[in-house]
């Protein structure tokens, strides 16, 4: 399959149910308060087994974000504060798979 992908990447077929493990999964969720948010996270984790997940445009920060994150299948996290109900970035990781060190941040 690798040789076929190199020769013609648009012709590579991935069968339904053939799941791919990802080290890092990035998702623009467009709001973590969506009623389906938790279900979608768990589906992505079950299907792709990411070590690190970056979620953008969460529109949730502070204590509320921490409460949501505590229910997710990750044991490490960093979050940014939102600007009103805009932006928001969560970096989630599994400590057994990855070490994330917060070096610096800006306002």
**Distance of alpha carbon 91 from alpha carbon 78, whole angstroms:** 5
- Predicted confidence (pLDDT) per residue in 53-83, tens digit: 999 999 999 999 999 999 999 999 999 988 8
- Predicted confidence (pLDDT) per residue in 79-102, tens digit: 998 888 789 999 999 999 998 999
- Is the overall model pTM greater than 0.85, yes or no? no
**Distance of alpha carbon 5 from alpha carbon 23, whole angstroms:** 21
**Residue 71 per-residue DSSP state:** T
**Distance of alpha carbon 95 from alpha carbon 34, whole angstroms:** 27
Encoding tokens for residue 101? Answer: 């060190």
Encoding tokens for residue 95? Answer: 């400590």
**Distance of alpha carbon 53 from alpha carbon 45, whole angstroms:** 9
In the chain, the domains with their CATH numbers are 20-107 (3.60.10.10)
């Amino acid at each position: 399959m690798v040789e076929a992908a190199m020769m013609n990447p648009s012709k590579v077929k991935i069968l339904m149910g053939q799941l791919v493990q990802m080290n890092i999964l990035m998702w623009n969720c467009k709001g973590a308060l969506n009623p389906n948010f938790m279900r979608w996270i768990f589906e992505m984790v079950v299907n792709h087994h990411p070590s690190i997940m970056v979620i953008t445009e969460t529109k949730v920060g502070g204590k509320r974000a921490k409460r949501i994150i505590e229910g997710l299948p990750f044991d490490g996290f960093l979050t940014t504060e939102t600007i009103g109900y805009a932006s928001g970035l969560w970096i989630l990781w599994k400590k057994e798979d990855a070490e994330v060190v917060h070096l610096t941040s800006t306002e």
